[in-house]
Amino acid sequence: MASTTLPLSTEALLAFDREHLWHPYSSTLNPPQVFAVASASGTRLKLEDGRELIDGMASWWSVIHGYSHPELNSALHRQIDKMSHVMFGGLTHRPAVELSARLLEITPSTLTRVFFSDSGSVAVEVAIKLAIQYWAARQQPRKHRLLTVRGGYHGDTFGAMAVCDPVTGMHSLFSHALTQHIFADRPDIAFDGTWHEDAFSNVEQSMRQHHMEIAAVIVEPIVQGAGGMWFYHREYLRKLRALCDELDTLLIFDEIATGFGRTGKLFACEHAGVNPDIMCLGKALTGGYMSLAATLTTADVAATISGGEPGVFMHGPTFMANPLACAVSLASIDLLHETHWSTKVLNIEAKLRTLLEPCRSLSAVSDVRILGAIGVVELHQAVDMYRIPQLFIERGVWLRPFGRLVYLMPPYIISDAELATIADAIYAVLSDPPLVMRIEEA
């Protein structure tokens, strides 16, 4: 095999990638076409072949300030000269303490303890373990299952997979090996729909039937992300909070995708004015620079676990509270407030409502929905994932649809003209359904 230590041509780079790298949700027998990025700045990705793309994905929703932001770059430069990493067992450091303080300032006031981890999936694992260990400490080990709703997505590790949708989700292959939890119907009233009490009857029935074994309820507040990009009514969360209180059940909010302004509120639970017992954060926490997640909880949960057997919380990631990640997270949160994120997100929402409206007239489209800096065009059929990214790249934009969903979650710094370019590309590509739809086998 030829050495890969010397500079590779773009063709050789892509050939090596195709032969040896395994990309997410892909086959090694029929690898997807991938596009080599040479650099990224602002809202733009520059490919190795010289083409430039407007990024409508913010690298899976995380790069909220755009790429290579000078203030975030500076925060990392300052920190790396002091300390790139140190174990968090028995040690602490200023970036972790300052970031924790800032998170407690901006999240619901009932949350007072912060546990850092490596990724969003692990933050969910931590939340699940907190809930189970909480009830074990209260001498109620029977309460060890979770209740969630269909259509949800919480990550790809085993604990997180077990609370993803077991039928329409990505993890049905592993169902026999996963912990069996309790699933209620997906909230079926849209965010801007008219509330009716029947919408809560299924989850209420499930909770009342199983509450003696339910350790916690876990949901993505307001927006179900990778499970279908569905925006549901805020009253559902209010009812859920009240029922959890009545039945003495913990409530976990997975704000990994929705946190840090994406829905028009700093955290999606603010739409309902509801506080969780445990909250998971990730993705945009670092401004998309590095992998870091946090699981926040109440003083009661922390004290109960610490007062039971074995007297400590049983989790400890090697790279927990990495100083570099904490430093850039702190800078990202400061930047959010300094740059008036709310005005930017509400402008994106208003523009998307106008720009994506023409898509409703297309025969391939079943629905268009927008909330905050999220735009979704839902189709009648699944897209061809081997063809559709290339069609968007030909129009100068980067989007990565999945299933029946073409969606965008751009950086907050995106301009009106760039949004219009993306919307025009979506309309143009979807105007020719045979090109983009996956051919189903008979």
Q: Which residues are catalytic?
A: 25, 153, 254, 283
Segments in 107-234 forming alpha helices (H): 120-137, 158-161, 201-210
> Virtual CA dihedral for 226, 227, 233, 235, nearest 10 degrees?
-100
Please state the separation of Cα 161 from the chain's center in Å: 14
CA distance 437 to 385: 9
Q: Which of 434, 437, 438, 420 is nearest to 358 (CA)?
A: 420
Measured CA distances, 227 to 5, 230, 373 (Å): 40, 8, 18
Measured CA distances, 94 to 70, 76, 79, 99, 315 (Å): 22, 14, 10, 8, 22
Q: Alpha-carbon torsion 26, 31, 33, 35, what sign? A: positive
Which two structure tokens, joined as six digits, stand for 195?
A: 């509330």
CA distance 304 to 298: 10
Pairing of strands 44-47, 52-55: antiparallel
CA distance 186 to 161: 17
CA distance 156 to 175: 13
Are 204 and 242 contacting, i.e. CB atoms less than 8 angstroms apart? no
